[in-house]
Structure 1
């Protein structure tokens, strides 16, 4: 009986001891907060496109008369200096015959004019007849000179320094007058063309600055928008932005380029510091804090310049978001500020 009286208080003491154990404290994260702010923001619009020859950069070489291709001195891709021969042509039999006839006709016309002048001096021909003979001689000599120039111009030369872009003939080809032979792209005359969403194109204006990204071969370069073509390309479904590139930029026709242009958003832009933005498998989110508790908010964003990002959906002006310590926070966790 004595044992029972001794054991009972001990059991009671043990029970009281277990009931008084402390519960684990809820985790509390140490964070820094910043407000979502309404106002003006500069949005960076990404652009993708390619460098191409400027409108005046493409120079065409054509056959001045019917001729055969004798030699191709500068194939496509060759860098040429001004005046360098690109393609050599040889006059065809028809061109030789026509040139010879033109020369003969000019000689006959000159003799006829001289005879008419003598006969007018003898009173055997009127002034009007002499003028007719003079006009015929002028026309015949012009035709002879034209053939001489065409035959003498059968060595087709680069009009300016550049790169032979295309050669559309082969040795031995018989070419008709004005037939395309080759094209040369003038060095230093390059522009960039970017494809953009048609709605985005409405926000861009000539004179805005595009920052073209650099690469291992050249430095970044800034250029001004020259023109905006809002017409939608039937294949790409994009509008076009054009900008001229300064000489010496290192950009060459055909090079794929990327860039960006800053567009100011006014009035309704809601921004937060970049540091507040987190990512969950491509879904951007932030932790908004209310009454000391952090709540996850999925947001929709627009890119922005500087150190702030524009929020299109998911937050309200004035809400406090976690900008430091967010990686240690979970949805519904209590937080305290630094």
Structure 2
């Protein structure tokens, strides 16, 4: 080959060689980018029927808790027949006061009543005999009037004695504190031998052992709640079901909240004073939902990731609602049909390259 031919042949070979190397490098970079891209799976935002619920916390309280005391002052407790947690029946004697003086006063009142009744009976007989004699003109009319007045006075004396006896009996009854209704003793504030005062609280009774759940709801939450709505309280490994019996007719001017009251006919392991979270079912409705696994919590906010045409992750902030059966309601931030990253979402950042695969492959890649 001539020298002038070699002059143009060698540069051409060099250009071709460099072009081949450049193409190989570009292919290698593409393959490396694909290999480094995180495998993810996508799922669409879908509208579905969802039970509308309100999640709120509140205490379990007694439906009606009675504060029991006595109406006598300065008397000593001689017998205490119940303790905390004990079930009592209506009319059962819970405690007794020293009633020896009251027994004596009642006995005197009974004797006075019998004496007055005897005098009334005698006055009645005398009047009857006098009436017969007056009819035969054997006694004067004034004498009959005196007999009539004596009988009337005896009747008044009997009524007075009976009232005194009833008062003494009532005082004697006050020496025994009886249960006003069936229920459970929830608190005891007295000891045997203690001298008590009238009106002071000695025992506390939960009527019929009936419990209820109370919760404070915001204005918006209160608007969607109605009497009869079902309430579910998870506690002790089981769900206690109740029903709202009353809703506060207004809201507090300071806190802007209102109270709901839910009956618990079968409270199970729940006790008075337990603070528990409850779910109030307010009805059914349409909701836009996505898999709960696609939601990422960062900086105190909820985010999802979408994939653009360049196979890059795009972060978007959303506002979530309630959660049910592994899906979360999206209140704001997404439209129906938009695809969000599910598997692998927790490992993504804004602009990361991704590779969309099936859900099973994405889980394997994440592992």
User: Matches of residues 177-196 of structure 1 in structure 2 within 5 Å?
Assistant: 180-186=201-207, 188-196=209-217
The question of whether the paired residues in 2 share the 8 Å contact of 1:300 and 1:312 is answered with yes
Task: Confirm whether residue 204 of structure 1 aligns to residue 213 of structure 2.
Answer: no
Aligned to 1:88: 96
The question of whether the paired residues in 2 share the 8 Å contact of 1:276 and 1:321 is answered with yes
| Cα separation, partners in 2 of 1:70 and 1:326, compared to 1, 3 Å | closer
The question of whether the paired residues in 2 share the 8 Å contact of 1:208 and 1:261 is answered with yes
Aligned to 1:41: 50
User: Matches of residues 56-71 of structure 1 in structure 2 within 5 Å?
Assistant: 58-71=65-78
Aligned to 1:322: 341
Give the Cα–Cα distance (whole angstroms) in 2 for the partners of residues 213 and 238 of structure 1: 24
Q: Deviations over 1:22-63 (max 9, x none)?
A: 2312344443333223464334322211111113xx344332
Give the Cα–Cα distance (whole angstroms) in 2 for the partners of residues 214 and 19 of structure 1: 67
The question of whether the paired residues in 2 share the 8 Å contact of 1:163 and 1:187 is answered with no
Q: Deviations over 1:245-275 (max 9, x none)?
A: 12462322222222112334646x4322323
Give the Cα–Cα distance (whole angstroms) in 2 for the partners of residues 335 and 39 of structure 1: 28
Where 1:206 maps in the other structure, the secondary structure is coil
* Normalised TM-score (structure 2): 0.73
Task: Confirm whether residue 227 of structure 1 aligns to residue 236 of structure 2.
Answer: no
Aligned to 2:301: 283
| Cα separation, partners in 2 of 1:236 and 1:158, compared to 1, 3 Å | farther
Give the Cα–Cα distance (whole angstroms) in 1 for the partners of residues 72 and 108 of structure 2: 15
Structure 1: which 5+ residue stretches go unaligned?
none
Aligned to 1:336: 356
Task: Output the aligned Cα RMSD.
Answer: 3.8
Give the Cα–Cα distance (whole angstroms) in 2 for the partners of residues 50 and 132 of structure 1: 64
Give the Cα–Cα distance (whole angstroms) in 2 for the partners of residues 72 and 284 of structure 1: 63
Q: Which has the higher helix share?
A: 2
Task: Confirm whether residue 214 of structure 1 aligns to residue 235 of structure 2.
Answer: yes
| Cα separation, partners in 2 of 1:251 and 1:235, compared to 1, 3 Å | farther
Give the Cα–Cα distance (whole angstroms) in 2 for the partners of residues 265 and 290 of structure 1: 34
Aligned to 1:173: 195
Report the alpha carbon displacement of residue 68 of structure 1 after superposing the two structures with TM: 0.4
Give the Cα–Cα distance (whole angstroms) in 2 for the partners of residues 164 and 151 of structure 1: 27
- Rg larger in structure: 2
Give the Cα–Cα distance (whole angstroms) in 1 for the partners of residues 251 and 193 of structure 2: 42
| Cα separation, partners in 2 of 1:336 and 1:257, compared to 1, 3 Å | closer
Report the alpha carbon displacement of residue 117 of structure 1 after superposing the two structures with TM: 0.7
Task: Confirm whether residue 137 of structure 1 aligns to residue 186 of structure 2.
Answer: no
Give the Cα–Cα distance (whole angstroms) in 2 for the partners of residues 248 and 210 of structure 1: 12
- List, as ranges, runs of 4+ consecutive aligned residues in structure 1 with deviation greater than 6 Å: 8-14, 126-129
In the alignment of these two chains, the number of paired residues is: 329
Where 1:122 maps in the other structure, the secondary structure is helix
| Cα separation, partners in 2 of 1:188 and 1:326, compared to 1, 3 Å | same
Task: Confirm whether residue 162 of structure 1 aligns to residue 184 of structure 2.
Answer: yes
Task: Confirm whether residue 121 of structure 1 aligns to residue 128 of structure 2.
Answer: yes
Structure 2 residue corresponding to 1:54, chosen from 57, 63, 66: 63
| Cα separation, partners in 2 of 1:140 and 1:134, compared to 1, 3 Å | same
Question: In terms of mean alpha carbon deviation, does 16-25 or 298-307 score higher?
Answer: 16-25
Aligned to 1:271: 289
* Normalised TM-score (structure 1): 0.78
The question of whether the paired residues in 2 share the 8 Å contact of 1:37 and 1:318 is answered with yes
Aligned to 1:22: 25
